[in-house]
Amino acid sequence: MEPTRILLEAHEIPTHWYNITADLPSPPAPPLLPDGAPATPEQLGAIFPPAIIEQEMSAERWIEIPREVREIFRLWRPSPLVRAVRLEAALGTPAKIFFKYEGVSPAGSHKPNSAVPQAYYNREAGIRRLTTETGAGQWGSSLALAGQMFGLEVRIYMVKVSYEQKPYRRLMMQTWGAEVFSSPSTLTETGRRALAAAPETPGSLGLAISEAVEEAAGRADTNYALGSVLNHVVVHQSIIGLEAKKQFDKIGLYPDVVIAPHGGGSSFGGIAFPFLGDKAAGDKRAENLRALAVEPSSCPSLTKGRYTYDFGDASGFTPLMKMYTLGHDFVPAGIHAGGLRYHGASQRVSQLYHEGLVEAVAVPQLATFDAGVQFARCEGIIPAPESCHAIRAAIDEALRCKETGESRVILFNLTGHGHFDMGSFERYFSGDLENFEYPAEEVEKSLARLPQLGRRER
Amino acid sequence: MEPTRILLEAHEIPTHWYNITADLPSPPAPPLLPDGAPATPEQLGAIFPPAIIEQEMSAERWIEIPREVREIFRLWRPSPLVRAVRLEAALGTPAKIFFKYEGVSPAGSHKPNSAVPQAYYNREAGIRRLTTETGAGQWGSSLALAGQMFGLEVRIYMVKVSYEQKPYRRLMMQTWGAEVFSSPSTLTETGRRALAAAPETPGSLGLAISEAVEEAAGRADTNYALGSVLNHVVVHQSIIGLEAKKQFDKIGLYPDVVIAPHGGGSSFGGIAFPFLGDKAAGDKRAENLRALAVEPSSCPSLTKGRYTYDFGDASGFTPLMKMYTLGHDFVPAGIHAGGLRYHGASQRVSQLYHEGLVEAVAVPQLATFDAGVQFARCEGIIPAPESCHAIRAAIDEALRCKETGESRVILFNLTGHGHFDMGSFERYFSGDLENFEYPAEEVEKSLARLPQLGRRER
């Protein structure tokens, strides 16, 4: 039997992360303050430790992964690279479909890949507490896990509607020792103001971010941690693609196309950038490599957004970043892939997309669940709704290979399992799930509210 | 860094199961019919395929694992053997603690190890449909997965109270294409009678078994599948211990004590029997090996039960088996480790316990959750309530080593993750969880109702 699960030993965990900033065809646009001045490292120091700020700004190609971080990674990494032979057979495709399975982490997704180093660097900087926000719960549970591993207290502001609807995710964070509060809370000025204005508010990710940042900025022993979008997060996630490259080396293959769901950009950048690094380095095998970001058609920041300066958060607290955006106050439809409901995109993914080096496609919700269920029935694993986006695109790619007869090697990022998302599958099976159209009018409105400073480019 | 996760490649999946029947010190007591005559293979043929009946009765030491079964196992097996270095450090013990992690299966527990071969043998026998019952949902979801892999329809009778309280487990089965009905249902004579007598009944595992067996017995294209207790299930689960032995070989260690939760006996027999096989074969390393079954103090079939003939199910449909039992109509307290709420024990485990070759201990509910949370905070993985029983005993063993200074090698079976049991952790954290005393009076009553045929031995 040919191997279908390609495993690595603990000593094969990469020792360095890959930073695509070193290989960008043109210098990245700097983050700006609302007054137009570049954001400085000092200004970020109120909420981030020095090592994280350095990584955010770094143009070094390789950044060493601390030994203590790799020791924690050994609890579940290296993650398996799996050939989906039963899915291939069910599709009748000549394509070879591989997935990198990040659901093996205790929190069930790729998010701990960044939560662990963030907790480590904060502890190294003498920080004792971390705050963050969480919507669907993937990031919050990952930071709870990471904080526990390094002896940090973790306080999580969980969007009220999720806090009430997803008690199991909340319990998971509490099992790892984190404090979880429904946001808006009475613990912060922002929260109290929001509650006074609308006591029955369901909360929002923007509000929860504001609460977490307010608390971190106001306490010397406390920092804030973000789970996507920023470059240091994308750097940390490069471990996915770096491991996958080693795994492909073991079987003498190389992907023709790398596919990942796209929300803030860290799972896409994480798996695709190391391969794009090969391409930048002139590696023959990567000459025709395609990297495909898959976003929900109801929140199509890359395929329908504008490439311009915008805030990273809904409330306008962060520096302005040049990125594809639907407008920072655009409110995406309530799709079940909560991790993909983000108005913007990582600066690095945005620049590469703008320069034509990566591709993007938008897919409707129902088609992603069709793909996820087909996958589960072939390969066993029940995927997270976010991951179903990548599966959809991988299946479509494999079906095109069936038409053309090409035996392409497809790699996708199976970012997590769906154990805490079975309610979404319930609505899918009961026929209650709907597609959401591209909200053109809403996007136009929110783009019209872009910060004035932003240069309008496309 | 020393390896802490000991992995095997797909080609190292064992090719044969181990059957401890070959190594029993005395011949096993045969299953009997209520009239005292031995149960014959023909009588089991109404609900089981020939290969399963043969394995149930077999005294062969090694039974070949079919190639197609091993191919499905490759979706998640071999499962990792992990050294719990962070738990060791937290306990300050000189002991080496290892766990075999069966939660990596798509269904999240060791149950697919038997569901997959059972589905295979039924398909080989020309069967098109399988029925079964499920309480907590672990077995039902495993059979749903296995049925999907071999193209069999699967119908699951899920105890009504679980059907209503555990919708996510139900959804999991539906994702893998199974039909799930609340039991008692209107689909069977048994179900209709139960509903007529008590329309608001919460159902019971005994009733659900009866419904599944009734349907299987009445249809030529349909068989029934059981997830524990019977010998063929214990044989299938031996893959756990067989893999663990290979993994210990890789690092030049051998366990001093093997620990597993004990409900029906398949997870305990699965991990412990292959090591006991070494002992029976005179392997020096196994000379002082201890095998420890951990049961809930509210359902202490081994430590407080009687070794005698009793029915395997609550309603008295099955043949009588010689085993430790609390009486087939004993109703255990509603502990959260649903998989351990069984009145009896596997015949093989019972015989070995009776002959002093395995040990047993009963632990109270709260102490198991204490252990499970401590484990999660060290090793990341959130364990199932059943698995928490083994963790409790492993920690206690490690703490004794701390007192004596012995560097013993402890192996326990981490039978599954707790992703679908977070409600139990909620009650633990909120202080609502209680210990249940040993229900001496109830056990006396149910033992007084043992079938007359049963010889009273102790």
pLDDT of B195-230, one tens digit each?
Answer: 999 999 888 888 898 899 999 999 999 999 999 999
**Tens digits of per-residue pLDDT, B93-134?**
999 999 999 999 999 999 999 999 999 999 999 999 999 999
DSSP 8-state class, residue B329: T
Q: 């094969």: which residue's tokens?
A: A12
Q: Which residue from B minimizes the CA distance to A147?
A: B377
- Structure confidence at residue A415 as a pLDDT band (50, 70, 90): very high
Provide the mean pLDDT of chain B. 94
d(CA A152, CA A177): 10
Confidence of residue A453 (pLDDT cuts 50, 70, 90): low
ipTM: 0.95
CA distance A254 to A408: 10
Task: Report the percentage of chain A scoring pLDDT > 70.
Answer: 98
Whether B390 and B97 have beta carbons less than 8 Å apart is answered as no
**pLDDT on residue B116:** 98
Looking at the complex, report in whole angstroms how far the Cα of residue A431 sits from the nearest Cα belonging to chain B: 14
In this predicted structure, the answer to whether residue A88 has a pLDDT above a threshold of 60 is yes
* Contact check, Cβ <8 Å, A429/B106: no
Domain ranges of chain B: 5-12+65-108+232-445, 50-55+111-228
Inform me whether the pLDDT recorded for B79 exceeds 60. Answer: yes
Contact A168 B11 (CB under 8 A): no
Give the residues across from A261 on adjacent strands.
A294
Question: DSSP letters of A327-382?
Answer: -TT------S-GGG--SS--HHHHHHHHTTSSEEEEE-HHHHHHHHHHHHHHH-PP
The CATH number, out of the four listed (3.30.930.10, 3.40.1190.20, 3.40.50.1100, 3.40.50.1970), of the domain defined by the range B5-12+65-108+232-445: 3.40.50.1100
pLDDT of residue A454: 45
* Residue with the larger pLDDT of the pair A89 and A339: A89
Query: Residue B420 and residue A423: Cβ atoms within 8 Å?
Result: no
Percentage of chain B modeled with pLDDT above 70:
98
Residue A1: Cβ within 10 Å count: 11
Asked whether the predicted pLDDT for residue A456 surpasses 70, the reply is: no
Cβ-based contacts of B142 with chain A (< 8 Å): none
pLDDT at A38 over 60: yes
Q: Which of B69, B75, B88 to substitute to test the interface with A, most A CBs within 10 Å?
A: B75
pLDDT at position B454 = 45
- Evaluate if residue A103 carries a pLDDT over 50: yes
B253-272 confidence digits (pLDDT tens): 999 999 999 999 999 999 99
Hey, is the C-beta of B429 within 8 angstroms of any chain A C-beta?
yes
Mean pLDDT, residues B59-74: 98
Q: What is the pLDDT, as a whole number, of residue B415?
A: 98
| Fold agreement between B5-12+65-108+232-445 and B50-55+111-228 | yes
CB contacts of A377 in chain B (<8 Å) are 148, 175-177
Query: Does B458 have pLDDT greater than 50?
Result: no
Half-sphere exposure of B114 (CA within 13 A, CB side): 28
Model confidence pLDDT, tens digit, residues B441-452: 999 999 999 987
Predicted confidence band at B419 (pLDDT cuts at 50, 70, 90)?
A: very high
Backbone angles phi, psi at A149, to 5 degrees: -65, -30
**pLDDT bracket for residue B20 (50, 70, 90):** very high
Task: Select the CATH number that applies to the domain covering A50-55+111-228 from these four: 3.30.70.660, 1.10.260.40, 2.60.40.3080, 3.40.50.1100.
Answer: 3.40.50.1100
Task: Chain A: give the shortest CA distance to residue B104, in Å.
Answer: 8
Q: Does the structure show a pLDDT above 50 at B285? A: yes
pLDDT score for B453: 67
Q: CA B458 to CA B306: how far, in whole Å?
A: 6
The 3-state DSSP class for residue B41 equals helix
Write out the DSSP string of B384-416.
-HHHHHHHHHHHHHHHHHHHHT---EEEEEE-B
pLDDT at B41: 87
Nearest Cα to B54, choosing from B133, B117, B128, B140?
Answer: B117
